């Protein structure tokens, strides 16, 4: 006899994964309520989950052979985040912070959900500006949402990831990376309005146009929980306040002349980057739709110049990556991510990939820089349950 009205069996084990991302264009616009256009990549972080019956959460990573494992009671999370976060080893703040943010977002009593063991493995390069952190957050949020039966949608999971990053880790980032990791689609970019979180999936069409997207990881490490990132954010907030708007998103390129009269030169240049970058995202999406990916090269180049000269978040290695890729025939190139290190991207004809790679490597060797790691990426699927 088939039982009726029975609850589905509780999910006690599984594997989930979420990708890193490349931002095609729209840098430091997300926390200004503006526009971004990232895509998820094929490098992913996966988490194997099993439930436990003692109300505890443990996190361990395959990359540190379990040495960085943390195990605590779910009821302790509230006491630890955000004030006592420093007691937790840094990498573990991402998954534990997501667990905390999910319980908070849903008003769930930590004593009412099963304990979990989470084991992470990842092939997303760390510190390369490819959002290895958003990949951990997306995998964790997807797994816990299913196992704890929270019923949250992908945008809510992205928000929990961002809250973890902001409050549990202490990095004052926007929501781009989490949204890209949750919403990614094969061969498509995510055109996101960071004020409304309205997301459109836009075909990128790289392969049909004979193009590849090359990532040039400069190996210069960066961290957004310290220094420059927060300073840039503060300058943007100052600029918005001087202009009397809620966020720089509310300014147009035509407002810049007035902005220049009202603020100091540094603040003005920070503002000019964000306002023109928002416009470049809109132009890139429109150009892609009308003329295909080959036509966006100039916008990528202009974005890099704006980050180098106005926002001042590039480093010599990123500039050299961009300049040497372009000189070797790239359609367009720019640094990607938060800056101060990490990776550049270059849109390159398929048959020029070996030549551009060799040219960038040679330029780095001549400059005495550490050898970069250069590889192609493909727009890929967002977070999912794998098993």
Give the residues lining the site for ligand GLA (CB under 6 A). 23, 27-28, 30-31, 173-174, 176-177, 224, 337-338
Locate 322 and state its tokens. Answer: 């961009």
Least CB distance from residue 94 to ligand GLA, whole Å? 12
Closer Cβ to ligand GLA, 37 or 364, answer by number? 37
Nearer to ligand GLA, 224 or 270 (CB): 224
CB of 35 or CB of 268, closer to ligand GLA:
35
CB nearer to ligand GLA: pick between 114 and 341:
341
Q: Name the minimum Å distance from CB 370 to ligand GLA.
A: 22
Closest CA relative to residue 294, chosen from 219, 342, 349, 243: 349
Of 146 and 250, CB closest to ligand GLA: 250
Q: Rounded to an integer, what distance in angstroms lies between the CA atom of residue 361 and that of residue 219?
A: 13
Q: How far is the CB of 55 from ligand GLA (least distance, A)?
A: 32
Q: Are 245 and 275 within 8 A, CB to CB?
A: no
Decide whether 22 or 113 has the Cβ nearer to ligand GLA.
22
Give least dist CB 131 to ligand GLA, A: 6
CB of 326 to ligand GLA, least distance (A): 21
Nearer to ligand GLA by Cβ, of 144 and 192: the residue is: 192
Catalytic residue among 177, 217, 278, 310: 177
Q: How far is the CB of 233 from ligand GLA (least distance, A)?
A: 8
Q: What is the smallest separation between the CB atom of 72 and ligand GLA, expressed in angstroms? A: 26
Residues 6+ apart with CB under 8 A from 325: 214, 216, 333, 344, 346, 348, 356, 359, 360
Q: Report the chain's terminal Cα–Cα distance, integer Å.
A: 29
Tell me if residue 177 is catalytic: yes
Residues 6+ apart with CB under 8 A from 356: 214, 325, 328, 329, 330, 346, 348
Structure tokens at 187: 């061969």
Find the residue with minimal CB distance to ligand GLA: 338
Task: Give whole-number Cα distances, 276 to 54, 152, 190, 372, 374, in Å.
Answer: 53, 35, 19, 30, 29
Catalytic residues: 177
């Amino acid at each position: 006899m088939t039982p009726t009205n029975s609850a589905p069996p509780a999910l006690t084990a599984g594997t989930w994964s979420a990708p890193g991302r490349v931002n095609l264009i729209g840098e430091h616009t997300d926390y200004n309520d503006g526009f971004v256009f990232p895509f998820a990549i094929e490098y992913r972080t996966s988490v194997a989950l099993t439930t436990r019956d003692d109300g505890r959460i443990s996190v361990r990573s395959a990359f540190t052979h379990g040495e960085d494992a943390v195990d605590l009671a779910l009821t302790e999370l509230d006491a630890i985040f955000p004030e006592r976060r420093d007691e937790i080893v840094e990498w573990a703040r991402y998954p534990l912070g997501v667990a905390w943010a999910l319980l908070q977002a849903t008003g769930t009593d930590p004593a009412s959900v099963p304990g979990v063991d989470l084991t992470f493995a990842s092939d997303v390069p760390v510190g390369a500006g490819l959002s290895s952190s958003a990949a951990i957050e997306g995998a964790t949020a997807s797994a816990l949402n299913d196992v704890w039966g929270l019923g949250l949608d992908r945008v809510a999971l992205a928000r929990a990831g961002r809250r973890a990053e902001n409050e549990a880790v202490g990095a004052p980032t926007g929501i781009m990376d989490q949204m890209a990791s949750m919403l990614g689609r094969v061969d498509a970019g995510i055109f996101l309005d960071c004020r409304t979180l309205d997301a459109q999936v836009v075909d990128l069409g790289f392969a049909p146009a004979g193009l590849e997207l090359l990532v040039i990881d400069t190996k210069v490490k960066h961290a957004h929980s310290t220094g420059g990132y927060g300073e840039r954010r503060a300058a943007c907030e100052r600029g918005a306040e001087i202009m009397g708007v809620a966020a720089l998103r509310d300014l147009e390129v035509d407002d810049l002349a007035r902005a220049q009269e009202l603020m100091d030169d540094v603040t003005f240049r920070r503002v000019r980057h964000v306002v023109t970058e928002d416009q470049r995202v809109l132009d890139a999406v429109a150009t892609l739709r009308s003329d295909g990916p080959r036509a966006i090269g100039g916008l990528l180049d202009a974005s890099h110049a704006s980050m180098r000269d106005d926002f001042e978040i590039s480093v010599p290695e990123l500039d050299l990556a961009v300049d040497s890729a372009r000189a070797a025939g790239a359609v367009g190139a720019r640094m990607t991510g938060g800056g101060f290190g990490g990776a550049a991207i270059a849109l390159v004809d398929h048959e020029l990939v070996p030549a551009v790679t060799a040219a960038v490597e040679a330029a780095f060797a001549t400059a005495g820089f550490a050898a970069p790691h250069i590889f192609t990426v493909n727009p890929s699927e967002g977070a999912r349950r794998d098993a």
